[in-house]
A and B are shown apart, each in its own frame.
Chain A
C-alpha cells in the first residue's frame, strides 16, 4: 500500500504548476476565454512540446512517457487549479483512452499526433433525450458498403469548436435504449455533413450542438467492437470521471484557500471576519469536504485498473463525494466572500462556476448514487 508520489510525478506537477502560474494567471485566462477563438493554441503547443503532458500517460511506443492513472491525477489537479479550458480531458483522457484500447488502423498515428499536439478531440456522446444514460442513442451509423453513414444529433459537445476530430457514439443496431447495438467512431470534425451550432459554456469553455447528416465514414472509423462497445464506453467514461474528480480537487483547493485568505483580510466590526467562530467552523467543514474529496480521488485512481464492477463502484463513490463537495464548498466560498463573491472580477466566482459544472459532468450526484447502489446492493427488487 502506497499513497505517495514518485520524484518524477512531483517534478511533473511542479513544472506544470510553474508553467500555469506564468501563462495561465486569472487575467490571462479571462482574456483568452473572451477572445474569438476561446482558447490558446500556443498553450496547447507548450503542453505538447515544453511540458510533455499530452503524452505523459501514454506508452512509450507512441511517443508517450509510460505513465498511468497517477500521472493523470497529477495533471488534472493542476489543470483544475488554473481553470484550464484547453481540451486535455477530451483529447488525452477520452480519445487517448479509446484509441489505446481499440487500436484501429489509425490509432497509432492518431496517438502520436495527440502527443505532438497536432490532434484535438471532443467527445460527442450525450444526446438531448438521453440525460446520463450513455446507451440512450438516437444517432445511427448505418452500414454502407465497407463503411457507415452517420445521422443524428449530439448535445453540448464540449470543445467541439476546437476539435480536429470527434469521438461519436452511435447505434449500429437495436432500439433507442438498448445496451446492445452501440458503437464508437472517430469522425473528422470538418467532414461533409458535420454541422455545429457553437456557443460558450458558463464555465468558460466552448461547446456545440453537433449534427450529422449522412456523414460518410470509412471502415477504419470504427473503434472497438461493432454493436458491443458499451463496456468500452463505460470504461473510458469512468476514467474521464476520475479525471474530472482530480480536476475538482484543484478547483476545491482554490475555493477553500481563497476563502480562508479572504476572510483573514476582510474586516467587519473592527476585526478580520476569520475571527468569527461560525465562519471558522464553516471553513473547517469546507476543508474536510476538500480533504475527503482528495482521498476519494486517490481511491478512484488506484482502482481504475480493477475489474469493471469494482472500478465503476469506486468511480461512482468518488463522484458522489466530489459532487457534494463542489456544491458545499462552492456555495460557501461565495457566501463567505459576501457581495464580492458575486462579482465577475473575483476569481472565486469562476471556480464556483467550474465546480458547479463538474457536479453534473458524466452524471450528477443522484446518478452516481443510484449507480453505486446498483453495484453495491444489486438491483432493487
Chain B
C-alpha cells in the first residue's frame, strides 16, 4: 500500500500541466473570472481542442478514440483540470450516451454517432425524467408507438413530456427513454431512442431555477416521428441501457478534484475576509472548526474514491458502494457552497443577475455568486438518483436488506 506516483505518472502529470497551461483559451479563463456563463461554442470549442489532443474521452475504449490511461492517470487528469480551473465538458454525450452506444449500439450507430460525440460536433441531452417520474424512473409515461410512414419506412411516433432536461436549449440531439409496451411490467416496456431535437413536434421550454439560472428545461414531444433505426439495443430492453449508463463514470461522481479546488478558494477567502472580533475569518474558532471538519471529510471522500478506483483496476468493477461517493460527494459540494456563502457575510445578498452586464462589481470578488451557487447546488443531492434513493441502493445491494 502506498501513495507514490511512479516516475511515468509524474511525467504524465507534468505533460498534463503543460498542456492545460498552453492550450486553455485565455478568453474562457477571463469569462470564469468575471463569473459569466459559458456558451455552447465556448464549451464545444474547448472539447475540440481536447479531441485534437486525443484526450476528449479518456475512459472510452481505445478503438473508438479513448485513451489507455491507468486509473492513476485518470485521477491525475481530473486533479489537474480542477487545479487549472478549466471548464468541464458536460457528460451527456461523452460519458453517458457513448458507453451505451459502444456497449449496446449497432455497428452503424457507433459509426454514425461516436465520432461526432468525440469531436464535439453535436450536443446531446438526456431525456429521462418526467413530471410524474423522478426517483421512480421506471414509471415514465412518454409513449412510442410503431407506425409505418408515408414513405413506407418504420417509425416510432413519440408523445409525452420530459423535464429537468439539462442544457436542452443547446442540444442538437437527445437520448430518450420511452414506453414501447404499456402492458408489460414498468421496467420491461421501455426503449432507448435517439431523437433529433430539430424534429417537428419537439419543443423546449426553459425552467428557471431558484437562483435565476437557465440550466434545465421541459421538453415536449408531440407526435415526433423517430426512425426505427434510431433505437439503441432491442425494443423494450431500454432499461438495460439505462441501468448500464448509471454504472458508468462512477469514478467522477464524487467530484473530489473540483471540491478540493473549491476548498482551496474558500480557504483563501477565509484568510482575507474579516471576522467579527478582529483578525481574519479563518481565526474565528467556529468557522475554523467547520472548515477543518469539511477538509477532513473531503479527505475521507478522496480516499474512499481512491479505494474504489483501486478496486476497479483490479477488476472488481465499480460496485453499488459507489453510491457512497454520490452521497458524500454531493454533501461536501453543498457544504462548500454553504460555507462560502457564510464567508461572504453581507455580500451574499446582491443578486448578480439584477445588474447590467458591464456594471461595476459589488463586494469582494470571492463573494460574487456565492448565494447563487449555494441555491443551485441544492440540486446535487436530488439529481442522479436522490441521496435517499442511493441509501436504498446500498441497503439492498450492499447490506442485503
Residues of A in contact with B (beta carbons under 8 Å apart): 1-5, 69-70, 73, 260, 263-264, 274-275, 277, 280-281, 283-285, 287-288, 291-292, 294-296, 298-299, 301-303, 317, 320-321, 369, 372-373, 376-377, 380-381
A201 to B61, CA, bound (A): 58
Is A302 touching B1 in the complex (CB atoms < 8 A)? yes
Q: Kindly list chain B residues whose C-beta atoms are within 8 Å of the C-beta of A377.
A: 267, 282, 288, 291-292
Is B299 touching A381 in the complex (CB atoms < 8 A)? no
**Which 10 A-B pairs give the minimum distances between C-beta atoms?**
A295-B303, A3-B310, A280-B395, A292-B300, A295-B304, A381-B283, A381-B279, A284-B391, A380-B283, A299-B303
User: Closest B-chain residue to A3, C-beta based?
Assistant: B310
Minimal beta-carbon separation of A159 from chain B (angstroms): 28
Q: Which of A1, A302, A380 contacts B288 (CB 8 A)?
A: A380
Q: Kindly list chain B residues whose C-beta atoms are within 8 Å of the C-beta of A2.
A: 1-2, 310
In this assembly, does B399 line the interface, its C-beta being within 8 Å of a C-beta of chain A?
Answer: yes
User: Closest A-chain residue to B300, C-beta based?
Assistant: A292
Is B292 touching A373 in the complex (CB atoms < 8 A)? yes
Is B292 touching A376 in the complex (CB atoms < 8 A)? yes
In this assembly, does B219 line the interface, its C-beta being within 8 Å of a C-beta of chain A?
Answer: no
User: Among B99-107, B136-144, B321-329, which stretch is in contact with chain A?
Assistant: B321-329
In this assembly, does B285 line the interface, its C-beta being within 8 Å of a C-beta of chain A?
Answer: yes
Is A264 touching B292 in the complex (CB atoms < 8 A)? no
Minimal beta-carbon separation of B296 from chain A (angstroms): 5
Q: Kindly list chain B residues whose C-beta atoms are within 8 Å of the C-beta of A283.
A: 395, 399, 401
Q: Kindly list chain B residues whose C-beta atoms are within 8 Å of the C-beta of A73.
A: 1
Is B292 touching A280 in the complex (CB atoms < 8 A)? no
User: Closest B-chain residue to A260, C-beta based?
Assistant: B399
A3 to B316, CA, bound (A): 13
A260 to B75, CA, bound (A): 34
Q: Kindly list chain A residues whose C-beta atoms are within 8 Å of the C-beta of B314.
A: 4
In this assembly, does B4 line the interface, its C-beta being within 8 Å of a C-beta of chain A?
Answer: yes
Q: Provide 19 A-B residue pairs closer than 8 Å at the C-beta atoms, listed in order of the A residue.
A: A260-B401, A274-B401, A277-B395, A280-B391, A280-B392, A280-B395, A287-B394, A291-B324, A294-B307, A295-B307, A296-B299, A298-B1, A298-B307, A302-B2, A320-B296, A369-B289, A372-B296, A373-B288, A380-B285
In this assembly, does B26 line the interface, its C-beta being within 8 Å of a C-beta of chain A?
Answer: no
Chain B, range 256-295, C-beta contacts under 8 Å to A: 267, 279-280, 282-283, 285, 288-289, 291-293, 295
Minimal beta-carbon separation of A339 from chain B (angstroms): 22
Q: Kindly list chain A residues whose C-beta atoms are within 8 Å of the C-beta of B285.
A: 380
Is B3 touching A317 in the complex (CB atoms < 8 A)? no
A277 to B389, CA, bound (A): 11
Q: A291-B304, A295-B303 are in contact. Are A1 and B2 (CB under 8 A)?
A: yes
Is B3 touching A303 in the complex (CB atoms < 8 A)? yes
User: Closest A-chain residue to B323, C-beta based?
Assistant: A284
A50 to B327, CA, bound (A): 44
Task: Produce 1/0 per residue, B326-338, CB < 8 A to A.
Answer: 0110000000000
Q: Kindly list chain B residues whose C-beta atoms are within 8 Å of the C-beta of A280.
A: 391-392, 395, 399, 401
A89 to B22, CA, bound (A): 52
A5 to B310, CA, bound (A): 11
Q: Kindly list chain A residues whose C-beta atoms are within 8 Å of the C-beta of B9.
A: 1
Is A299 touching B299 in the complex (CB atoms < 8 A)? yes
Minimal beta-carbon separation of A3 from chain B (angstroms): 4
User: Closest A-chain residue to B267, C-beta based?
Assistant: A377
A372 to B297, CA, bound (A): 12
List 20 other contacts, CB 8 Å, given A280-B401, A320-B293, A377-B292.
A1-B306, A4-B310, A5-B1, A69-B1, A73-B1, A260-B400, A260-B401, A275-B401, A277-B395, A281-B388, A284-B399, A292-B304, A295-B307, A298-B1, A301-B1, A302-B1, A321-B297, A372-B295, A376-B295, A377-B267
Residue of A263, A301, A369 contacting most chain B CB atoms (<10 Å): A369
Q: Kindly list chain B residues whose C-beta atoms are within 8 Å of the C-beta of A295.
A: 300, 303-304, 306-307
Is B307 touching A1 in the complex (CB atoms < 8 A)? no
A303 to B9, CA, bound (A): 19
A275 to B391, CA, bound (A): 14
Minimal beta-carbon separation of A377 from chain B (angstroms): 5
Chain B, range 375-401, C-beta contacts under 8 Å to A: 388, 391-392, 394-395, 398-401
Interface of A, helix, strand, loop or mixed by DSSP: helix
Minimal beta-carbon separation of B168 from chain A (angstroms): 33
Q: A288-B328, A373-B289 are in contact. Are A321 and B296 (CB under 8 A)?
A: yes
Minimal beta-carbon separation of A309 from chain B (angstroms): 15
In this assembly, does B72 line the interface, its C-beta being within 8 Å of a C-beta of chain A?
Answer: yes
Minimal beta-carbon separation of B22 from chain A (angstroms): 26
Q: A1-B72, A373-B289 are in contact. Are A292 and B328 (CB under 8 A)?
A: yes
In this assembly, does B64 line the interface, its C-beta being within 8 Å of a C-beta of chain A?
Answer: no
Q: A291-B304, A292-B304, A376-B292 are in contact. Are A302 and B399 (CB under 8 A)?
A: no
Q: Which of B1, B295, B398 contacts A70 (CB 8 A)?
A: B1
In this assembly, does B5 line the interface, its C-beta being within 8 Å of a C-beta of chain A?
Answer: yes
Q: Kindly list chain A residues whose C-beta atoms are within 8 Å of the C-beta of B391.
A: 280-281, 284-285
Q: Kindly list chain A residues whose C-beta atoms are within 8 Å of the C-beta of B401.
A: 260, 263-264, 274-275, 280, 283
A218 to B281, CA, bound (A): 52
Is A369 touching B3 in the complex (CB atoms < 8 A)? no
Minimal beta-carbon separation of A273 from chain B (angstroms): 10
Residue of A295, A296, A301 contacting most chain B CB atoms (<10 Å): A295
A191 to B392, CA, bound (A): 60
Is A296 touching B303 in the complex (CB atoms < 8 A)? yes
User: Closest A-chain residue to B396, C-beta based?
Assistant: A280
Minimal beta-carbon separation of A71 from chain B (angstroms): 10
User: Closest B-chain residue to A9, C-beta based?
Assistant: B1
A240 to B388, CA, bound (A): 37
A301 to B3, CA, bound (A): 10
Q: Kindly list chain B residues whose C-beta atoms are within 8 Å of the C-beta of A277.
A: 392, 395
Is B395 touching A288 in the complex (CB atoms < 8 A)? no
Q: Kindly list chain A residues whose C-beta atoms are within 8 Å of the C-beta of B303.
A: 295-296, 298-299
Q: Kindly list chain B residues whose C-beta atoms are within 8 Å of the C-beta of A373.
A: 288-289, 292
Is B296 touching A317 in the complex (CB atoms < 8 A)? yes
A380 to B280, CA, bound (A): 9
Is B1 touching A284 in the complex (CB atoms < 8 A)? no
Is A3 touching B1 in the complex (CB atoms < 8 A)? yes
Minimal beta-carbon separation of A52 from chain B (angstroms): 20
Q: Kindly list chain B residues whose C-beta atoms are within 8 Å of the C-beta of A303.
A: 3
Minimal beta-carbon separation of A285 from chain B (angstroms): 8
Chain B, range 1-24, C-beta contacts under 8 Å to A: 1-5, 9
Chain B, range 75-97, C-beta contacts under 8 Å to A: 75
A303 to B4, CA, bound (A): 10
Is B292 touching A296 in the complex (CB atoms < 8 A)? no
Is B395 touching A281 in the complex (CB atoms < 8 A)? yes
Q: Kindly list chain B residues whose C-beta atoms are within 8 Å of the C-beta of A70.
A: 1
Q: Kindly list chain A residues whose C-beta atoms are within 8 Å of the C-beta of B75.
A: 1
Chain B, range 347-401, C-beta contacts under 8 Å to A: 388, 391-392, 394-395, 398-401
A64 to B208, CA, bound (A): 67
Q: Kindly list chain A residues whose C-beta atoms are within 8 Å of the C-beta of B398.
A: 287
Is A287 touching B2 in the complex (CB atoms < 8 A)? no
Q: Kindly list chain B residues whose C-beta atoms are within 8 Å of the C-beta of A69.
A: 1
